[in-house]
Structure 1
Amino acid sequence: MSIRRERAHVDPLSHQPPVPDKELVVRGEDWYGRDLSGQRFARHTFYDSDWTEVVNDGGIFDECTFSGIKFNASRHTNAAFTNCTFKGCTFFDTRFEQCKTVGSLFQGCTFSLFAVAGGDWSFVGLPGADLRKAVFEGVRMREADLTAARLEGATLAGVDLSGAMLGAARLGGADLRGSDLSSLDPLTVELAGAKIDLEQAAVIATALGFDVS
């Protein structure tokens, strides 16, 4: 499967989410508590549906659009959401574990009690996302777009952020220990109160022009 990196850089202010295939549109359905484990969807568009408490173990969604979907209290394990667009979706008490969301874009979504453990979230677009107190642990987020994201009090522990776009991100009070901060420019982000380890401190000091020996 090819990775279209540009998906993560679509204009975040776009009002109309893409409809990959007009013949594959699901609108206004109640999928409360549905088990989507092992199912596969490609180029589908889901509008204004309730996915509260959905269980998804190994489901595959490729080039799909989710608009106005409630993912509240849903659990996704070993699932894939590749090159997808999430527009105006709600993620309350939502957990992704060992999932793949490569190349997907999140626009105008709300995140509360949001947790990601493991998996590959490389090339994901989360520009301006409000991820305060969200938890990302052991996640691969290479070249993810976190421009102007709000991450105050969030946990990004052991996260691969190499090549990530972090300009204007707010990281005050965030736990960044064990994460790759090689692409972070400390002059363009808010870092007050962030927790880092000694190795990360050396990386940041070097970025500021200090000679660390």
Structure 2
Amino acid sequence: MNVVTTHDWDAGAGKVRRHEKVQFSALDLCETDLEGIEFSECVFRDARFNRSRHADVAFLNCRFVNCNFFDATFTNCKAVGSSFEGCSFDLTTVDGGDWSFIVLPRTDLGSATFTGVRMREADLTGVRCRNGTMRGLDLSAAQLTGADFTGCDLRGTDLHAFDPRTLEMRNAVITADQAVVLAMSLGLQIRDA
């Protein structure tokens, strides 16, 4: 696997539109704007994405290890099949796009904002979204056991994968339609008076 550093990126690798099976080591993308670039089966190790902005960028089956996404923005991006280990997402914003099949267990997303994102079959086991924003998400068949959505804004999100017996949802913000979905998941019978 070819290894790319910040020096290599600045020397021209950053102008390449498609990267495949590349390892990015300690890459510094702070305050960088990326648009329309594709990364396929790449590894990002100790990379810094602080205050970076990404539009229509694809991270397909990539691996992120100990990366910092502080105040990063992802608009209509793809992260399909990617995994995140030891990464921080303070003040991260994800707007639209497809993050299906991602592996993001036990990650703190409490200060992150996810809106309108497709996250089908995502592994969010033990994820911590206390007081976060996860609005309008497609979480079909997502793994959510042990997740904490205390005080999280979940309006518009597909809650069919939610089992209130295996995760924390106290004070979460949902709509009446979503309350019906949760009641049905508990086996309750909903009847008019």
Same fold (TM over 0.5): yes
Q: Shift in Å at residue 31 of structure 1?
A: 5.4
Number of the residue aligned with 1:131: 109
Letter in 1 for 2:101: F
- Report the CA distance shift for 1:135/1:77 in structure 2 as closer, same or farther (over 3 A): same
- Report the CA distance shift for 1:38/1:75 in structure 2 as closer, same or farther (over 3 A): farther
Number of the residue aligned with 1:94: 72
Q: Does residue 55 of structure 2 align to residue 77 of structure 1? A: yes
Query: Percent identity over the alignment?
Result: 47
Q: Shift in Å at residue 49 of structure 1?
A: 2.0
Q: Is the 8 A contact 1:127 1:146 kept in 2?
A: yes
Cα-Cα RMSD: 1.7
If the length of structure 2 is used for normalisation, what is the TM-score? 0.94
Can you list the C-alpha shifts for 1:19-74, whole angstroms capped at 9, x where unaligned? xx2xx111353858x99577111000011121101111101000000000000010
Q: Does residue 17 of structure 2 align to residue 39 of structure 1? A: yes
Which residue of the other structure, out of 55, 60, 74, is the alignment partner of 2:38?
60
Number of the residue aligned with 1:113: 91
Which residue of the other structure, out of 132, 151, 166, is the alignment partner of 1:173?
151
Q: Is the 8 A contact 1:53 1:72 kept in 2?
A: yes
5+ long unaligned stretches in structure 1: 1-20
Counterpart-to-counterpart distance in 2, 1:31 and 1:170:
38
Number of the residue aligned with 1:205: 183
Can you list the C-alpha shifts for 1:59-107, whole angstroms capped at 9, x where unaligned? 1000000000000010110110000000000011101000011000000
5+ long unaligned stretches in structure 2: none
If the length of structure 1 is used for normalisation, what is the TM-score? 0.85
Counterpart-to-counterpart distance in 2, 1:78 and 1:102:
13
For the residue of structure 2 that corresponds to 1:112, the secondary structure is: coil
Counterpart-to-counterpart distance in 1, 2:18 and 2:162:
37
Counterpart-to-counterpart distance in 1, 2:16 and 2:190:
50
The count of aligned residue pairs is 190
Structure 1 residue ranges, 4+ long, deviating more than 3 angstroms after superposition:
27-32, 34-38
